Structure 1
Amino acid sequence: MTLFCKLPAVALLLLAACAPASDQAETSASTAEAAAPGGGQAAVDDTVSQPNVVRVALGSKDHTTLVAALQAADLVNSLANAGPFTVFAPTNAAFDKLPAGTVETLLKPENKLKLKTVLHHHVTTSALDVADLADGQSLSMVDGVSEAITKKDGATYIGGAKVIASVRASNGWVHVIDGVLVPPAK
């Protein structure tokens, strides 16, 4: 390739290098926004890898209430990160067992802190298979309060809620439960 053919490319590079820093920053910011629409780990478009705990919940028609709560509490990105996490995921039917209006009240913006506390009470920062949970074990949850594990007739329970299914995720485990774990009043 002759020098004459390389001149337009060199001129373009020189012009880009001489552009004001603010123009370069805007270009970088635009590129970053395009690469991560919505921002955060949860926005990564990955349909090939094993799903993380958030994607497991998103893929379940039985967890739409939990997903709405995670979104309202701004916890989606936190749980999409590397973890490890064990999430005890109440089904929609579990949320329906709560007193009328409880979910609607918790989802209000002014109750975001209460909602986060309830959701943090369903997560521990370890990747624990059901086989790792022992009868009589006390499991410390993210909110700092412990829940008791019991085993009865071949089933596993946490705080009285029965584990009805388990799904391995890329960043831990999702254990589907038939009740909502309500943290004690402080």
Structure 2
Amino acid sequence: MKNLPWAVIVVAGALLASCSSPDQPENEVAATEVQPHSGGQSAVTDDQSQKNIVQVAAGSADHSTLVAAVKVAELVDVLTNAGPFTVFAPINEAFEKLPAGTVEELLKPEKRSDLRNILQYHVYVGVLNTDRFEDGQSLGQVNGGRVTMGVNGDKITVNGATILASIPTSNGVIHVIDQVLLPQ
């Protein structure tokens, strides 16, 4: 019985030695090994699940300016993550109401931090559907600023911008708005 542990070690060693291939050096990566994926959550493709915030916005002709800004601000991966998020999404016409040249200026690489601040002012962490809003309610946004909700009958506003529609997504909700929200 004293030789049993040694016998187990010898057999285990033989099995391990037989697993390595003499044709493949130990430092070579096996063909079956998974290679790291470059790109974040936005690079994952899934045509069967409900679309996330970025996918819904990208599919909307009314949000092409917002989608371009999210890309320049490098927030695509953040907004495709699980969240949940409530996004107040200005339509293209909302961006056109800004002073001439504002959007073009914000899309420059050197203005990325300003653009991120503005876009993050449109995002609340958590899901708030319209039935949860109360008149005068204050919400803390991702950039650290606060927005104020207005409820007057069926009309709901955020800092005076009217919510035109609400769209559920896999990682939150989009409230389509008619103005760009600017941090104080």
- C-alpha distance in structure 1 between counterparts of 2:22 and 2:85, whole Å: 45
Deviation at 1:70, TM superposition (A): 0.4
Q: What's 2:91 paired with? A: 91
Q: Percent of pairs identical after alignment? A: 48
Q: SS of the residue aligned with 1:24?
A: coil
Question: CA RMSD, aligned part only?
Answer: 2.2
Q: What's 1:129 paired with? A: 129
Q: What's 2:39 paired with? A: 39
Return the letter of the residue paired with 1:32: P
Q: SS of the residue aligned with 1:163?
A: strand
Unaligned runs of 5+ in 1: 1-12
1:24 pairs with 2:29? yes
1:44-68 deviation per Cα after TM superposition (whole angstroms, max 9, x unaligned): 1111100111111111110000000
TM-score, normalization by structure 1:
0.83
Change in Cα spacing, 1:71 to 1:25, as seen in structure 2 (3 Å) is farther
Unaligned runs of 5+ in 2: 1-18
1:6-53 deviation per Cα after TM superposition (whole angstroms, max 9, x unaligned): xxxxxxx743894343x3189857x334xxxx6110111111100111
1:90-119 deviation per Cα after TM superposition (whole angstroms, max 9, x unaligned): 000110100000000000000000000000
Q: SS of the residue aligned with 1:15?
A: coil
- C-alpha distance in structure 2 between counterparts of 1:91 and 1:159, whole Å: 16
Deviation at 1:181, TM superposition (A): 0.2
Q: SS of the residue aligned with 1:99?
A: coil
Aligned structure 1 segments of 4 or more residues deviating by more than 2 angstroms: 13-21, 25-29
More helix by share: 1
Change in Cα spacing, 1:103 to 1:27, as seen in structure 2 (3 Å) is farther
Q: What's 1:50 paired with? A: 50
1:71-130 deviation per Cα after TM superposition (whole angstroms, max 9, x unaligned): 000000001001010000000011010000000000000000000000000000011111
Q: What's 1:105 paired with? A: 105
